[in-house]
């Protein structure tokens, strides 16, 4: 009987072979990245734990010693801040995804707005606020500020902003009707049926929206496997389904 139990135990997958991969990721990645992680877990048996927040907040936590193994930022600037501390696994940083910047409305009947120099974004607010993320710290807010400066409407519009701590919180302000309009990523708008896109900011009005990804040193085998999975066809299909642009592998 003991021999049979021993043989059964040896035949079963050893739980020690499964590892947990801790990922820090920009909040705007949640819908797609949750599905990417599910696919990886099903294929490998490893567990993926993802902490979502604004990229600047995540970068600060990593610099302070938070146990992240993989970092996906919505801006190269915050990845560079991590690299400057010597915290990246050499040779693993890459530009993974792209996105675009849009103006959204809560009202399903809101008219389209042409986002051109001098456009008036204050009057449509009707006393409300224009939601976006923190314009000095969170990438989508930084892109929004750059776009408004490029269109020469920053000084007029800035006093009417409602700034939140990440892209998805800004999206929720509009979805819940707490702000009539907002500036978010196109992928966020796509993930939320309670908002509609009323305008797309010209690509040249703000820095190119790039999501870099890298391993934090020292990288475990499971973290390396997830890093590879992120650049694979299964992950690419999930990202494209949510409207991200998938960058070609270097």
| Numbered residues of the known binding site for molybdate | 28, 55, 185
Element (DSSP H or E) covering residue 159:
none
Where does the chain have alpha helices with state H? Answer: 2-11, 30-44, 55-63, 76-84, 139-150, 154-157, 167-175, 186-191, 221-230, 233-241
Q: Is 151 left (phi over 0), alpha (psi -120 to 50) or beta?
A: alpha
Q: Note whether 171 and 182 are within 8 A (CB).
A: yes
Alpha carbons 228 and 94: distance in angstroms, whole number? 11
Instruction: Map tokens 């391993």 to a residue.
Output: 215
Residues 17, 74: Cα–Cα separation, whole Å: 32
DSSP-assigned states of every residue in 195-219: -EEEEE--GGGS---EEEEEEBSSP
Binding site feature residues: 28, 55, 185
Distance (Å, whole) CA 76 – CA 78: 6
Backbone angles phi, psi at 188, to 5 degrees: -65, -45
Rounded CA-CA distance 81/21 in Å is 22
């Amino acid at each position: 009987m003991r021999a049979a139990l021993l043989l059964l135990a040896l035949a079963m997958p050893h739980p020690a072979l499964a590892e947990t991969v801790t990922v820090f990721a920009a909040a705007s990645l949640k819908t797609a990245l949750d599905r990417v992680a599910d696919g990886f877990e099903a294929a490998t048996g490893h567990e993926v734990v993802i902490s979502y927040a604004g990229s600047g907040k995540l970068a600060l936590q990593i610099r302070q010693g938070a146990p992240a193994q993989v970092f996906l930022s919505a801006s190269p600037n915050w990845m560079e801040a991590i690299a400057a501390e010597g915290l990246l696994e050499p040779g693993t940083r890459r530009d993974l995804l792209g996105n675009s910047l849009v103006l959204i409305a809560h009202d399903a009947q809101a008219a389209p707005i042409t986002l051109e120099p001098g456009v008036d974004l204050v009057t449509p607010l009707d006393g409300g606020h224009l939601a976006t993320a923190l314009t000095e710290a969170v990438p989508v807010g930084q892109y929004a500020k750059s776009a408004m400066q490029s269109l020469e409407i920053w000084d007029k519009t800035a006093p009417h902003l409602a700034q939140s701590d990440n892209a998805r919180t800004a999206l929720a302000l509009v979805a819940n009707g707490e702000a009539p309009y907002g500036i978010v990523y196109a992928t966020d708008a796509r993930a939320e049926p309670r908002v509609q896109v009323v305008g797309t900011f010209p690509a040249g009005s703000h820095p190119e929206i790039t999501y870099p990804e890298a391993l934090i040193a020292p990288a475990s085998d499971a973290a390396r496997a997830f890093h590879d999975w992120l650049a694979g066809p299964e992950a690419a299909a999930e990202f494209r389904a949510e409207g991200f642009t998938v960058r070609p592998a270097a």
